[in-house]
Amino acid sequence: KLQAVLFDLDGVVTDTAKYHFIAWRNMAKRIGITIDSDFNESLKGIERMQSLERILVHGGREQTYSQEEKERLAREKNDEYVSLLAGLTPEDTYPGIQELLHELRERRIPAVIASASKNAPLILEALRLNEYFHAIVDPGGIPGKPAPDIFLQAAKLAGADPAGCVGIEDSQAGIEAIKAAGMYAVGIGDAGILGPSGADLICSSTKELTLQRLLVSAGM
Ligand code: B16
Ligand code: MG
């Protein structure tokens, strides 16, 4: 039986994944590193400082910066990211998400945010979706995706067994995290990109995410 639905945020609830990409690309460019959308797939779902490390390795610059300089680079990225979020309104919620959240609430099935982002509360506020979520995982101090911890913590907050949870993700790291947590993994995006990470069901758009579809495909 379905006990809880665990939502990734960036790239599942709204299109903020594109803002992360813009802000990282600009930061990387300032230090002479070029990142393209293929490389960006390996950044999705990855915590801020880890993302920076991946970019530095990608540019062959992992030895160049002190801890303090890295913190400055990450802060600059986040400042630009937060300024890109300024225009976010409820209209930016991906199609079908509010309807799914509504159905879950009617059925008293808890929805929890399982995001790596420290900006999650700010984004949910801007989208006016707070009331639909039972809880938001605090990603601080727990291992990031692809480790299962963020999803396990989300299940715990919902009072659910991992085996009774469906996790929804747009990233390779996130799908791996859901599977490592022993849950049913729904990928949003391209089957060629998310299939190899182990997604159980892949939808090209959030429009396909109805409660009925989840229940039938997860066999719950
Ligand atoms: P922040 P998700 C992740 O969010 C993003 O996919 C990833 O690109 C970002 O670096 C990470 O959050 C940390 O976000 O810098 O805002 O704390 O996809 O897990 O909802
Ligand atoms: Mg994501």
Question: Tens digits of per-residue pLDDT, 185-209?
Answer: 999 999 999 989 999 999 999 999 9
Q: Among residues 23, 132, 152, 155, which one has the least CA distance to residue 83? A: 23
**Which residues lie below 8 Å from residue 61, measured CB to CB, with a gap of 6+?**
31, 33
Q: Give the pLDDT of residue 134.
A: 98
Say yes or no: CB of residue 52 within 6 Å of ligand 1.
no
Residue with tokens 């979020």: 85
Q: Does the annotation place 156 within a ligand binding site?
A: no
Which ligand is closest in space to the CA of residue 77? 1
Mutate to test the pocket of ligand 1, among 20, 40, 80 (most ligand atoms within 8 A of CB): 20
How is residue 171 written in tokens?
A: 């990233």
Gap from CA of 219 to ligand 2 centroid (Å): 25
Say yes or no: CB of residue 14 within 6 Å of ligand 1.
no
* Position 12 confidence tier, pLDDT thresholds 50, 70, 90: very high
Q: Give the pLDDT of residue 48.
A: 97
Nearest CA to ligand 1 atom 1: 117
Residues 21-33 pLDDT 10s: 999 999 999 999 9
Measure the CA–CA gap between 171 and 34, rounded to whole angstroms: 21
Q: Give the pLDDT of residue 156.
A: 98
Q: Give the pLDDT of residue 130.
A: 96
Residues 63-78 pLDDT 10s: 999 999 999 999 999 9
Q: Give the pLDDT of residue 219.
A: 95
